[in-house]
Amino acid sequence: MKIIKQIDDMNPLIERLLDSEEENWLECVPWNGEERDLPVGSQTRIPGFRAINLVRFWEVLDVASDEGFKLVAAEKLKTLLKKVPDTIVIGAQMNENSVKRLTGTYGKRFFVAKHTGSSRLYNRWEWKKAFKTDVLELEALKQLRSQYPVYRVGK
């Protein structure tokens, strides 16, 4: 009963904190690890568009090859992952002609993303200049990972 009373005493404080729009509570979380260079949010002008739609080839770790990776056509990755579940996808190559076509219709800001260190939204070329990575590739990798279980938990 003593614990319940303590919780009841804290309720007004908790409600006030939850209702407060004065503070952005994520500001107290330090973003100083490697993950700080990943996009934390994105917007697109294209209905139903996802960065994964632009992937032409996935780069798969292949330590037996001289290059250290092999290219797998986007449409064949699902089959490979079923045959070899421990396949490690390390990158993506976008179809640049598709990117040009989208840019022609929607402009360079057809896809924009937010970086952890800024409130600004960057297009692909601004991101590349500022952070030396391809934001479309990073977003596609994130979307791919969300489709498959990590560490096969629950299997």
Per-residue pLDDT tens for 58-105?
999 999 999 999 999 999 999 999 999 899 999 999 999 999 999 999
Q: Which of 54, 51, 50, 84 is nearest to 70 (CA)?
A: 84
Q: Say which residue, 30 or 111, is predicted with more confidence.
A: 111
**28 close to 46: Cβ distance less than 8 angstroms:** no
Which residue segment(s) compose the domain that 81 sits in? 33-147
Burial of 35 (0-12, 13-18, 19+ CB in 10 A): exposed
Residue 132 domain-assigned? Answer: yes
Residue 8 domain-assigned? Answer: no
Tell me the per-residue pLDDT of 25-58, one tens digit each, with 9 for 90 and over: 555 556 566 666 788 889 999 999 999 999 999 9
The yes-or-no verdict on residue 4 having pLDDT over 50 is no
Residue 21 domain-assigned? Answer: no
pLDDT at position 147: 81
Residue 41 domain-assigned? Answer: yes
Rama region for 122: left / alpha / beta (φ>0; ψ in -120 to 50; rest): beta
Residue 17 domain-assigned? Answer: no
pTM for the predicted model, two decimal places:
0.73
Residue 117 domain-assigned? Answer: yes
Number of domains in the chain: 1
Residue 6 domain-assigned? Answer: no
Residue 95 domain-assigned? Answer: yes
**89 close to 81: Cβ distance less than 8 angstroms:** no
pLDDT at position 105: 97
**105 close to 93: Cβ distance less than 8 angstroms:** no
pLDDT at position 117: 79
